Amino acid sequence: MEILIEGMEFHAFHGVYPEESRVGTKYTVDLRLSVADSCGASDDLDSTVNYENVFQLVAHEMHHNSKLIENLALRIQDSIHRQFPMVLHSVITLYKYNPPLGGKIQRVGVVLEH
């Protein structure tokens, strides 16, 4: 079974350049979490991944600045696997909007699988 949590949106201050830590920008995070089919069998929230707790975990990591979005994505993914041992496989897609790269660029992103 896969659990999808998509379009989590944040304003955060990650980046290498000083203006990124002052002004910040929009980020979005999408998650695909593979869990055993038995996670939904009991209809008990404690037997599966609590979406609200996942969002809070992602928000917590988003508020701890990183220079690289690669590092941020890895921290988010590691935290999910630590807190939710029933997650067998995960894919995180993290986008940074309007990066200061010297031209008009809508977004850059990373995809990380574990």
Q: What is residue 47's predicted lDDT score, i.e. its pLDDT? A: 78
* CA 80 from centre of chain: 9
- Distance (Å, whole) CA 27 – CA 16: 15
Q: What is the pLDDT of residues 40-85, one digit of tens each?
A: 778 878 778 999 999 999 999 999 999 999 999 999 999 999 999 9
Predicted model pTM = 0.91
* 70 membership: H or E segment, kind and range: helix 69-83
Q: Which residues contact 73 (CB under 8 A, 6 or more apart)?
A: 92, 94, 110, 112
Domain count, the chain: 1
Q: What is residue 39's predicted lDDT score, i.e. its pLDDT? A: 74
Q: What is residue 44's predicted lDDT score, i.e. its pLDDT? A: 77
Q: How confident is the model at residue 90 (pLDDT cuts 50, 70, 90)?
A: very high
**Domain residue limits at 18:** 2-113
Per the prediction, the chain carries an average pLDDT of 94
CATH of the domain at 73: 3.30.1130.10
